[in-house]
């Protein structure tokens, strides 16, 4: 019997417009698609998607981890064993684990003839609500993008904040977006940890007139006490995003009563089953869940969609309407948002998408990364 095999194809996908957040601006999404081949020939796909706007070494470290996985698989270690004994839980490690686990679950669902969501739960959600995300730092551009999202049927719009040099500029941008979308569309903010607790309290009190539905990560991820203080001091619900990295982190956030919602990102927490377990923990603390992308391509997005369809507890509108930010998703069959809803693909087994080989050839990042991964071979 032949062994398991793992192949990895790095990519570099241009964004249609710069991604602007409190971390800076980027125009290129780098990552890798992985293919796991079982001894019976069944193939499952996953995606390595370290956070954007991070140093290149995170991606390189993750590629080396997958190279080690490829070696172990080729030498007879089952993928479940590798995942169950995973030792690297830093940024590169969680992204690599998420990629391998997604490929394995896609493969298993294909073997069973069911969707990945159905593999996770017998009664997945048939569709999920999604929010539009606005990253433009210019006031007029942000308002124009928000109006377009409203016209496309989105009922929830998220605005990236924390980029302005002065508070007045931040407030003017929020005001412009609220004016563009009207009073009935839910407006969220995402500060990516850019404010101190004092700045966040001051800013959110000044923004109270704009009827904010949720504010994600107003203070740095490490400052759980500060996050709890912000939540006690303002009327708007608070979500943790960058702070959601592990079970221990979620327990600390919930015990501190620091959040109303948790944002789950598969490459950050370490994969689909970890995200599902964190959602179960959140539900026990009456904390809502948002599943969000990291602007990955179609394999990672499909995995996040199936995860959102299967997690227990209260699910808010998810940050999974990001495919249009990329020149290509590298797949075919990925559902597109319709009036702010994503239908989960159930007609095809596994993730329900297929690799777009022509797009892969176009975006393969062979110049920098072709020697970064070792492919296991028979």
Active site residues: 160, 265
Q: What pairs with residue 37 in β-bridges?
A: 5, 43
Element housing 247 (H / E): helix 247-255
Nearest alpha-carbon partner for 147 in 193, 179, 117, 120: 179
The two three-digit tokens of residue 258, written as one number? 């620091």
211 DSSP assignment: -
160 DSSP assignment: E
Alpha-carbon distance values, 220 to 161, 207, 217, 311 (Å): 14, 20, 7, 26
Which class for 347: exposed (0-12), middle (13-18), buried (19 or more C-beta within 10 A)?
A: exposed
54 DSSP assignment: S
Q: What pairs with residue 28 in β-bridges?
A: 14
The two three-digit tokens of residue 299, written as one number? 């394999």
Alpha-carbon distance values, 272 to 72, 117, 120, 188, 308 (Å): 22, 10, 9, 25, 10
């Amino acid at each position: 019997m032949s062994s398991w095999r793992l192949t990895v194809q790095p990519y570099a996908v241009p964004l249609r417009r710069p991604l602007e957040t409190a971390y800076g601006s980027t125009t290129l999404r780098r990552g890798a698609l992985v293919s796991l081949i079982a001894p019976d020939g069944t193939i499952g796909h996953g995606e390595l998607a370290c956070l954007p706007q991070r140093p290149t070494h995170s991606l390189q470290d993750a590629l080396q981890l997958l190279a080690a996985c490829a070696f172990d698989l080729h030498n007879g270690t089952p993928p479940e064993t590798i995942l169950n004994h995973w030792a690297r839980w830093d940024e590169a490690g969680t992204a690599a684990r998420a990629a391998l686990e997604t490929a394995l679950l896609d493969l298993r669902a294909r073997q069973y003839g069911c969707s990945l969501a159905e593999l996770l739960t017998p009664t997945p959600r048939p569709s999920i609500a999604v929010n539009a995300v606005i990253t433009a730092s210019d006031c007029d551009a942000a308002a124009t993008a928000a109006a377009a999202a409203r016209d496309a049927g989105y009922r929830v719009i998220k605005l990236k904040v924390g980029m302005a040099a002065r508070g007045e500029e931040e407030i003017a941008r929020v005001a412009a977006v609220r004016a563009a979308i009207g009073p009935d569309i839910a407006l969220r903010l995402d500060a990516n940890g850019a404010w101190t607790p004092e700045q966040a309290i001051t800013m959110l009190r000044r923004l109270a007139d704009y009827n904010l539905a949720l504010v994600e990560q107003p203070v740095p991820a490490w400052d759980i006490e500060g996050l709890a203080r912000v939540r006690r001091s303002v009327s708007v619900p608070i979500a943790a995003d960058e702070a959601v990295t592990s079970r221990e982190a979620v327990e600390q956030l919930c015990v501190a009563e620091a959040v109303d919602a948790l944002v789950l990102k598969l490459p950050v927490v370490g994969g689909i089953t970890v995200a599902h377990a964190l959602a179960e923990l959140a539900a026990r603390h009456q904390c809502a869940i948002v599943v969000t992308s990291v602007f990955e391509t179609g394999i990672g997005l499909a995995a996040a969609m199936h995860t959102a369809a299967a997690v227990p507890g209260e699910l808010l509108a998810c940050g999974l309407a990001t495919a249009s930010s990329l020149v290509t998703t590298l797949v075919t069959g990925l559902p597109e948002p319709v009036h702010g809803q994503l239908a989960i693909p159930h007609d095809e087994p596994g993730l329900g998408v297929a690799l777009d080989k022509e797009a892969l050839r176009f975006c393969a990042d062979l110049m920098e990364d072709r020697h970064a991964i070792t492919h296991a071979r028979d």
